[in-house]
Amino acid sequence: MTTDDTITIRTATEDDWDAIALLDAHAFGEHQNSEDMEETKILTASSEIFLACDGDLPVGVTMHFPMDVTVPGGCTLPATGVSWVSVAPTHRRRGILRRMFTAQHERFEDAGKPLSVLTASEATIYERFGYGAATQGVNYTIDRRFTAFRKDLPPPRGARLVTSAEARELLPEIYGRWQRQTPGAQPMPQTRWHRFFADRKNARGGFSKLFFIVHPDGYIAFRRGYRVGTAGAQEARIVDIIAATDEARSDLWQVMCGIDLVETIEVTLPVGDPLLTLLTDRRVPQVTGVKDGLWVRLMDVPAALSARTYAIDTDLVIGVEDPFLHAGGAYRFVTRDGHAEVTRSDDDPDVTVSSSVLGSLYLGAHRARQFAAAGRVASTSEKALHEFDLAFGTPSQPQIGWFF
């Protein structure tokens, strides 16, 4: 890669939206319709968009949205959501992404929000900028015809079928309760709820409009369609499944798996989801892939680490390596009764991690020992690694709330 000094970086104006839409369409293979574009303009101002320009021609873009993220323990922390990141295929390998990200993230540092988050179309781009994959999901294909639930499960009594109009009234409140208790989840902006219920044809992938099953503490939104290469076999694709209680999860799955004419169900669930333990045959859900969701970068290490809770008491010095920005250094990390006090330190680190690894550990989706086994966490002793590993553990897996 070379750095091209002929490229200039600037913030966008209202006159740049057509160029931004063209870059996004080429990057992600879909032309934004006018309704989607207007909703994006509600989420962010043009002054929050950075463009790379070759003369007057925009050739790269990155934008960001104001956002909040629930962290372990239930605190909702201010964050910045990075999105629409792309460089024109005519201008690759010139250092454009790094220059845009540098300008954008210097603004983040000045703003002082503890976290920056994003979703990644490719998994190899963002670690060098200090981001780590912090939630993960498992893709399952479930042959509904062979699902049987354990006989000791109570039958589903709280779930019901509702119209889209009824779902519009019920879902935001249920989602809000789930989001406040789920690490990684973000509040859903009103404009995204509007897009969700608008249920435009370009979002359906050739399948039906949304169907809804609602429980007082959860819901499933799904589409139905015919499987490719089969004679009339129907498939259900779950777009969103939210369960704020174990009862809601059990009821929703029993109803979902009782839908006649559907042979297979496609769904993405967090690692360790209890679905397998509800079934008499845990092999019926077949894993078809594993994918990351939310990527996290700690912009302010003391503020971010102090906001979440921890599994054990410990007293460590954590070294953070951050070659991209200014979050690196040594931090005294003292936890008592679940809460942490984090301050800068001049002492030698007991444990050393990169900022991207710290981002992956932050919400509890990954264990420090995984990274230590790959040589990505260094420790001065087994005791230090053991305590560091246990401290960041969480009772449940984090989940992304909505993709952006």
404 is known as an active-site residue = yes
Cα–Cα dist 29/26, whole Å: 5
Q: Give residue for tokens 């503020």.
A: 303
94 known ligand binder? yes
Strands 211-215 and 76-87, sheet pairing: unpaired
Catalytic residue among 126, 310, 362, 392: 126
93 known ligand binder? yes
358 known ligand binder? no
116 known ligand binder? no
97 known ligand binder? yes
Q: Give residue for tokens 């000094």.
A: 5
210 known ligand binder? no
279 known ligand binder? no
86 known ligand binder? yes
318 known ligand binder? no
219 is known as an active-site residue = no
Cα–Cα dist 58/17, whole Å: 10
308 known ligand binder? no
Catalytic residue among 108, 129, 362, 404: 404
* Residues paired with residue 266 on neighbouring β-strands, in sequence order: 141, 237
Contacts of 69 (CB under 8 A, 6+ apart): 76, 77, 79, 115, 117, 184, 185, 186, 294, 296
Catalytic residues: 126, 404
Feature table: binding site: 85-87, 93-98, 121-122
Feature table: binding site for acetyl-CoA: 85-87, 93-98, 121-122
